[in-house]
Amino acid sequence: MDRVLLLVPSASYRASDFLEAARALDLQVIIGCNEPLVLGADGASVQICLEDPDAAAEQIVALDGKSPLDAVVAVDDQGTAVAARAAQRLGLRSNSPEAVAATRDKLRMRLSLHGAEVSQPGFAALPPNAGAAELARLAETVGLPLVVKPTSLSGSQGVIRADTVEQALAAAERTRSIALKAGAPPEQPLLLEEFVPGPEVALEGVLTDGELTVLAVFDKPDPLEGPFFEETIYVTPSRLKAGDLRAVTMTTQAATRALKLRQGPIHAELRVREGRAWVIEVAARSIGGLCSRTLSFGTGMSLEYLILAHALGRPVASLKRATGAAGVLMLPISTGGILAEVAGRERALALKGVVGIEVTIAPGRRLVPLPEGNRYLGFVFARGEKPEEVEACLRGALALLEVRLEKERPLRRPAAAR
C-alpha cells in the first residue's frame, strides 16, 4: 500500500476531498498540518510547521526514516514549498524548490517570465521606502491604469487597481498595510502591474516531465476591472474562440517552462484579447477553495484523485473532462460584519442545475471583504448541458441567497468611579 503525506494548512477547505480520493486509491495517509487539529479520522496525523519549509522538510525526512513515504502532496499553496523541499530530499516526484519559490513570489515570477519573453503585463517593483516621486516615476513607466499587488499573498488579497498617481499612492499604502498584517517582511517590495483589459480565464492542468496537459479552462464571466478583484463565477468549458484557447494553452506552457516547473498540478490565470494571452498568475497547485468539485474526469475521477495518482506515477484511465458544463459561484462578501446566516439556501438548491451549496464561514464569525479579506464565504455548484445554462443557474442562485449580518452591539462604557 502506497504511503502519502498530505500537507494540509489549518485554513484549507480541501482536506476531505483529498481524503476521499486517497480512499478511492487505497492509500495509507498521514496528514501534516501547521496546527494540532482533529485530523486523525482517516489515518495518522502530525504537526508540521508549514511556515518554515526547511525545518518542515527535516521533519518529513525523519518521518520517512521511520516508514518510507511514496509521495508528499500539498493540498494548497501554503504547503507547496515544504512539499518541494521534502520531495527533493527524498527523491520523490516533484518540482524543484526553486521553481516553486518563483511561483510564490510574484516579482520573481514576473522576472522569470520577462527573461523568457513570455507575454505578461508590464511591471515594476516598488521598494518599501519609495516616496511619492519614485512611485510617480514607476507608474509612468508601467502606465496607467495599473494594479498594485503584494508579492507574497494570494486570492486577490491586497490587490488594488489605480487609475491615477494619487490613487496609486493610496493603494500602495493600503496594500503594504495588508501585507504587513498578513506577515510579509517589511523589506518586501510591492508590485506595480499594467492593467490588461479583456476577459480573464483560469486554466487547470497537470505537468508530466514539463509537458502540459490541459484539464479544463474556466471562463470568469463577471468583468474583473477593479478597484478590487473579487472572483465570483467560474464556468467550464470555456466559450472562448479556438484561437484564443490555443493562445491560452501555448502561453501557459511557455510560462511553466520559463519557471522551470515540471511535475504536478498547475493553476494559471490569464487575460485574453484578439488571439493573445497575458499571464496574470501561475501557481504550482490546483484550483483553490472548493472549486475543484466542478471537475470530473473519465469515469468519475475527481481532480484530487488525479493529483494523487500523478504524484505516485500511477496511470489513470482518462484525463478527459466529463461531458456537459459545470460551474461554481464563490459567494461575494460585499460588506464586513459578523455573519448571522446565509438565508435562501433551500430555494437556491431547488433551482434546476444547482447541485450543491457549501457555506464555509460559520455564523458568528467576522466577514472581511477584499482587499483585506482572504476567506471565501461559500460556494454554489451547478451543472448543465451548456455553459450559458450553468452561468444563468448560478446567477439565479445568487439572487435567492441573502447574507445576513448580526447587528453590531455598541460597546458599554465603564461606569464612572464615584
Alpha helices, DSSP H only, in 271-329? 303-312
Q: And the C-alpha cell for 201?
A: 480565464
Contacts 24+ apart (CB under 8 A), 15-21: 15/39, 15/75, 17/290, 17/292, 17/293, 17/302, 17/304, 18/73, 18/75, 18/304, 18/307, 18/308, 20/302, 20/304, 21/302, 21/304, 21/305, 21/307, 21/308
Split at pLDDT 50, 70, 90, the class of 411 is low
- How far apart, in whole angstroms, are the C-alpha atoms of residue 205 and residue 310? 12
399 or 13: which leads in pLDDT: 399
Residue 112 has pLDDT above 90, yes or no: yes
- How far apart, in whole angstroms, are the C-alpha atoms of residue 296 and residue 302? 5
| Residue 185 CB coordination number (10 Å) | 9
Reported in sequence order, the residue ranges of 301-377 that DSSP labels E, i.e. its strands, are 325-330, 337-343, 354-359, 366-367
Closest CA to 50 of 94, 80, 71, 93: 80
Q: And the C-alpha cell for 80?
A: 507547496
Q: What is the pLDDT of residues 292-338, one digit of tens each?
A: 999 999 989 999 999 999 999 999 988 999 999 999 999 999 999 99
Helix (H, G, I), strand (E, B) or coil at 333: coil
Residue 41 has pLDDT above 80, yes or no: no
Helices 106-115 and 97-104, axial angle in degrees (round to 10): 110
Collect all residues with Cβ–Cβ distance below 8 Å to 74 and sequence separation of at least 6.
7, 80, 82, 83, 285
User: Rounded mean pLDDT of 54-70?
Assistant: 96
Residue 42 has pLDDT above 60, yes or no: no
Strand 233-236 vs strand 325-330: parallel, antiparallel, or unpaired? Answer: antiparallel
pTM reported for the whole predicted model: 0.93
Q: What is the dihedral of CA 380, 386, 387, 390, to 10 degrees?
A: -20
Q: What is the pLDDT of residue 416?
A: 54
- How far apart, in whole angstroms, are the C-alpha atoms of residue 286 and residue 235? 16
User: Rounded mean pLDDT of 347-357?
Assistant: 98
Give a three-class secondary structure readout of 135-169: HHHHHHHHCCCEEEEECCCCCCCCCEEECCHHHHH
Collect all residues with Cβ–Cβ distance below 8 Å to 339 and sequence separation of at least 6.
361, 362, 363, 364, 365, 366, 367, 377, 403, 404, 405, 406
The distance from CA 391 to its chain's CA centroid, rounded to whole angstroms, is 21
**What are the structural domains of the chain?**
3-101 (3.40.50.20), 122-194 (3.30.1490.20), 325-406 (3.30.470.20)
Query: Mean pLDDT for the chain?
Result: 94
- How far apart, in whole angstroms, are the C-alpha atoms of residue 270 and residue 247? 10
Q: What is the pLDDT of residue 417?
A: 47
Residue 258 has pLDDT above 90, yes or no: yes
Amino acid at 279: V
Q: Tell me the longest C-alpha to C-alpha distance in the chain.
A: 80
Q: What is the pLDDT of residue 38?
A: 47
Residue 164 has pLDDT above 80, yes or no: yes
Amino acid at 158: G
Query: What is the percent of the chain with per-residue pLDDT over 90, rounded to a whole number?
Result: 90
Q: What is the pLDDT of residues 379-398, one digit of tens each?
A: 999 999 999 999 999 999 99
